[in-house]
Amino acid sequence: MSSKLKIALALALTLVIFLISIAYLHFKKQGDILILKIGNYLSQKTGRKSEIGSIEYSLFNGVILKNVVIKEKDGKRDFLKFEKAEIRINEREFIKGKLIFEKAKFYSGKLRLENKNGKWNFEDLLKLLPPSNRPIHLIWNAKELSFDNFEFYFSDPQKIEELSLSKSSLVLLHRSSVAGDFFISFNGFIGALINKKLFSCELALNSNLIYDYSEMKSAKIKADLNKISYDQISADSILTEFEIFDINKKEHKNFNGEIAFKNMFIPYSNESYRYMLKTLGKLEKALGRDISLEKEFLLKEMKASISAKNLEAKINISLNSNLLDLLFSSHSSFIDKKDEIKLEIQAGSSKINIDAISDFSNVKLKQQLSETAQEAIKNGILEFENKVILKLQ
Residue 13's pLDDT is: 47
Predicted confidence (pLDDT) per residue in 232-253, tens digit: 999 999 999 999 987 767 667 7
Least-confidence region, from 112-116, 260-264, 347-351: 347-351
DSSP-derived secondary structure letter, 356: E
CB 365 within 8 A of CB 355: yes
What is the C-alpha separation between 333 and 360, in angstroms, rounded?
10
Q: How far is CA 87 from CA 22, 150, 235, in A?
A: 19, 17, 40
CB 89 within 8 A of CB 99: yes
DSSP 202-237: EEEEEEEEEE-SSSEEEEEEEEEEEEEEETTEEEEE
Residue 319's pLDDT is: 92
Q: Is 188 left (phi over 0), alpha (psi -120 to 50) or beta?
A: left
Least-confidence region, from 73-87, 115-129, 329-343: 115-129
pLDDT tier at 17, thresholds 50, 70, 90 = very low
Residue 91's pLDDT is: 66
> How many secondary structure helices (H) and strands (E) does the chain include?
7, 18
pLDDT tier at 357, thresholds 50, 70, 90 = very high
Q: Tell me, yes or no, if the pTM score tops 0.75.
A: yes
- The residue among 348, 346, 343 whose CA lies nearest residue 374 is 343
pLDDT tier at 53, thresholds 50, 70, 90 = confident
Give every CB contact of residue 89 below 8 A, 6+ residues apart in sequence.
62, 99, 100, 101, 102
If you average pLDDT over residues 113-122, what whole number do you get? 84
- The residue among 226, 112, 105 whose CA lies nearest residue 173 is 105
Distance between start and end Cα atoms, the chain: 64
Q: Say if residue 9's pLDDT is above 60.
A: no
What is the C-alpha separation between 279 and 289, in angstroms, rounded?
15
E strand or H helix at 38, and its extent?
A: helix 3-46
Predicted confidence (pLDDT) per residue in 218-235, tens digit: 899 999 999 999 989 999
Predicted confidence (pLDDT) per residue in 127-146, tens digit: 776 676 777 666 677 788 89
Domain residue ranges of the chain, discontinuous segments joined by +: 232-393
Least-confidence region, from 75-79, 210-214, 243-247: 210-214
**CA angle in degrees (0–180, nearest 5) for 254-255-259:** 160
Higher pLDDT, 353 or 130: 353
With b for 16 or more beta-carbon neighbours within 10 A and e for fewer, the 146-179 pattern comes to bbeebbbebbeeeeeeebbbeebebbbbbeeeeb
DSSP-derived secondary structure letter, 142: B
CB 89 within 8 A of CB 6: no
**CA angle in degrees (0–180, nearest 5) for 241-283-280:** 60
Exposed, middle or buried: residue 283 (CB in 10 Å: 0-12, 13-18, 19+)? buried
What is the C-alpha separation between 161 and 195, in angstroms, rounded?
8
What is the C-alpha separation between 345 and 351, in angstroms, rounded?
6
If you average pLDDT over residues 191-202, what whole number do you get? 91
Question: How far out from the chain centre does Cα 169 lie?
Answer: 13
Length of the chain: 393
| Sign, Cα dihedral of 20, 22, 25, 29 | negative
Least-confidence region, from 81-85, 164-168, 280-284, 369-373: 280-284
If you average pLDDT over residues 380-387, what whole number do you get? 85
If you average pLDDT over residues 354-379, what whole number do you get? 84
Q: Which backbone phi and psi does 206 adopt, to 5 degrees? A: -135, 135
Higher pLDDT, 371 or 174: 174
Q: Say if residue 121's pLDDT is above 60.
A: yes
Find the farthest-apart pair of alpha carbons in the chain and give their distance in angstroms, rounded.
Answer: 95
Give every CB contact of residue 43 below 8 A, 6+ residues apart in sequence.
49, 50
* Number of CB atoms found within 10 A of residue 105's CB: 19
E strand or H helix at 171, and its extent?
A: strand 160-174
Rounded mean pLDDT of the chain?
A: 81
Least-confidence region, from 28-32, 179-183, 299-303, 369-373: 28-32
Residue 137's pLDDT is: 65
Predicted confidence (pLDDT) per residue in 139-190, tens digit: 677 788 899 999 999 888 777 778 999 999 999 898 765 567 889 999 999 9
